[in-house]
Chains A and B, each alone.
Chain A
């Protein structure tokens, strides 16, 4: 594989950049693989990469209905953080932060990981207490957390509304300075390029129609481009999890919802990190191009449409205006939607299933992007070793029946109740 560097850039400039190698091939599906990963998004590509790299399993195919990176990995708001209170979530995502820090070098692809910090704002004494508790939990798990008072927040985001008339005054906030953003497409492409180089077949425009399950054991999958035998199959399909589960006669603790985001026209740099509003569901960051990237609530009803409705955008931006009045004079460039696999407790599932050789990676709710590396890493381990890793030992499917929920923020599918 051609290494990307400043020298290869200069060298290719002489031929008008016409002679770059393709970053990944377009193979015809073979009839059999050791492992088939369904879903060529960030998590699926990362899983295939770590299967090849960490476990030396290279006879692997990624089956993608559309094109790689065309789903949620291309639709998220690129936030990376590990500011969780529960041990299981904190350990899992902090391991992921370590992977993020080295990802550009490891993949030889600039994912533009930019740890500029995240601030969760508090608007009451009770919220400050809750954040102090969460911050302490984070620090016990080795994650950096800083409790900011009102002046501390004002120093970092002076453009927020600190006047006396506001309905939800800013009391302070909890900051994770090591959190940040990354370029989401580059994450998908970087993983795809390295996985392809190690022998993984990335098969695009290939839809899974059904599964071959014999005596409780997976034998292969049926696709729009023919049958493919597989010893092991991993599902990494986010919002399409329920559709494939139905083909397997499985019912899961997952509901599929549409989540929207939007960006404004680009403006000069004014917001350094990520800020979340504590009195409504609204978060904002500024992209490297200068656009304000914003998001918030689900539309609130089951949906497979990768688009939402205006009332939710209006509702989210009402919260945004309460926090940052300057937004009222920005034009919106575009809005879009992605379909979320909302788990019932708000935490993901990375586990084996009752079908031998079938593995499940789903339930990412609002926050799949930040976990892309660690999700792939632990899912690859679960598939290769046929057992969960310590990191995903609490992200099991059976936690709903045993009562070991990871209800980090009390958010599941019914966010409107919270």
Chain B
């Protein structure tokens, strides 16, 4: 079981969370010309690195906030968590 430190609620079990994928993917800006490649990159293309990965989780059975988590995809170790408005470096 993973234990994820929600920035709002503290350390909670993974079962309370729902996964939201790569947090570094940027949606193309609204009201601007968007090329088909840009849409492609946003919707489908993922780096899926082995190692440190910044990802979104939602504390669905808790405060229901979306949060950012920096986790190792090979060891499952969690390094940092942050509010979705904050940066992880």
Binary A-proximity of B29-58 (CB < 8 A = 1, otherwise 0): 000000011001101111111100101000
Say yes or no: A255 contacts B40, CB within 8 Å.
no
Q: Give 12 pairs: A residue, B residue, CB < 8 Å, sorted on A.
A: A252-B46, A253-B45, A253-B46, A255-B21, A301-B71, A302-B55, A304-B74, A305-B74, A311-B14, A401-B44, A413-B21, A416-B19
- Alpha-carbon distance between A246 and B74 when the two chains are bound, in angstroms: 16
Say yes or no: A246 contacts B49, CB within 8 Å.
yes
Say yes or no: A414 contacts B50, CB within 8 Å.
no
Residues of B near any A CB (own CB < 8 A): 1-2, 14-15, 18-19, 21-22, 36-37, 40-41, 43-50, 53, 55, 71, 73-76
Given A242-B47, A255-B46, 5 more pairs with CB closer than 8 A: A304-B73, A305-B75, A310-B1, A311-B15, A413-B46
Residues of A near B73 (CB, < 8 A) are 256, 302-305
Say yes or no: B50 contacts A311, CB within 8 Å.
no
Looking across the interface, which residue of chain B has its beta carbon closest to that of A345?
A: B44
Assess A302 versus B15: contact at CB under 8 Å? Given A255-B21, A401-B37, A414-B21: no
How many A residues, CB 8 Å from partner? 24
Say yes or no: B2 contacts A309, CB within 8 Å.
yes
Residues of A near B18 (CB, < 8 A) are 416
Assess A243 versus B45: contact at CB under 8 Å? Given A302-B73, A413-B21: no
Say yes or no: A251 contacts B53, CB within 8 Å.
no
Binary B-proximity of A224-259 (CB < 8 A = 1, otherwise 0): 000000000000000000110010000111111000
- Alpha-carbon distance between A401 and B42 when the two chains are bound, in angstroms: 11
Looking across the interface, which residue of chain B has its beta carbon closest to that of A302?
A: B73
A400 at the interface (CB under 8 A from B): yes
Most buried by B among A305, A414, A416: A305
Looking across the interface, which residue of chain A has its beta carbon closest to that of B53?
A: A302
Residues of A near B49 (CB, < 8 A) are 242, 246
Q: Closest approach, in angstroms, between the C-beta of B86 and any C-beta of chain A?
A: 20
A411 at the interface (CB under 8 A from B): no
Residues of A near B19 (CB, < 8 A) are 300-301, 416
Other-chain contact of B1, A246, A300, A309, A416 (Cβ < 8 Å)? A309
Q: Which of A396-412 contact B (CB under 8 A)?
A: 400-401
Nearest 10 pairs of A and B residues by beta carbon: A253-B44, A242-B48, A251-B45, A400-B44, A304-B50, A301-B19, A401-B40, A304-B74, A344-B44, A255-B48
Number of A-B contacts (CB under 8 A): 68
Residues of B near A310 (CB, < 8 A) are 1
Looking across the interface, which residue of chain B has its beta carbon closest to that of A303?
A: B73
Looking across the interface, which residue of chain A has its beta carbon closest to that of B13?
A: A311
Say yes or no: A254 contacts B37, CB within 8 Å.
no
Most buried by A among B14, B15, B50: B50
Looking across the interface, which residue of chain A has its beta carbon closest to that of B41?
A: A251
Q: Closest approach, in angstroms, between the C-beta of A153 and any C-beta of chain B?
A: 32
Other-chain contact of A243, B2, B46, B50, B76 (Cβ < 8 Å)? B50
Most buried by A among B15, B22, B45, B74: B45
Other-chain contact of B48, A254, A400, A416 (Cβ < 8 Å)? A254
Most buried by B among A252, A303, A305, A311: A303
Residues of B near A255 (CB, < 8 A) are 21-22, 46, 48
Q: Which of A241-293 contact B (CB under 8 A)?
A: 242-243, 246, 251-256
Binary B-proximity of A307-348 (CB < 8 A = 1, otherwise 0): 001110000000000000000000000000000000010000
Looking across the interface, which residue of chain A has its beta carbon closest to that of B76?
A: A305
Residues of B near A309 (CB, < 8 A) are 1-2, 14, 76
Q: Which of A124-160 contact B (CB under 8 A)?
A: none
Looking across the interface, which residue of chain A has its beta carbon closest to that of B45?
A: A251
Most buried by A among B14, B18, B37: B14
Q: Closest approach, in angstroms, between the C-beta of A290 and any C-beta of chain B?
A: 31
Residues of A near B2 (CB, < 8 A) are 309
Residues of A near B53 (CB, < 8 A) are 302
Other-chain contact of A301, B40, B55, B75 (Cβ < 8 Å)? B55
Say yes or no: B47 contacts A401, CB within 8 Å.
no
Q: Which of A80-132 contact B (CB under 8 A)?
A: none
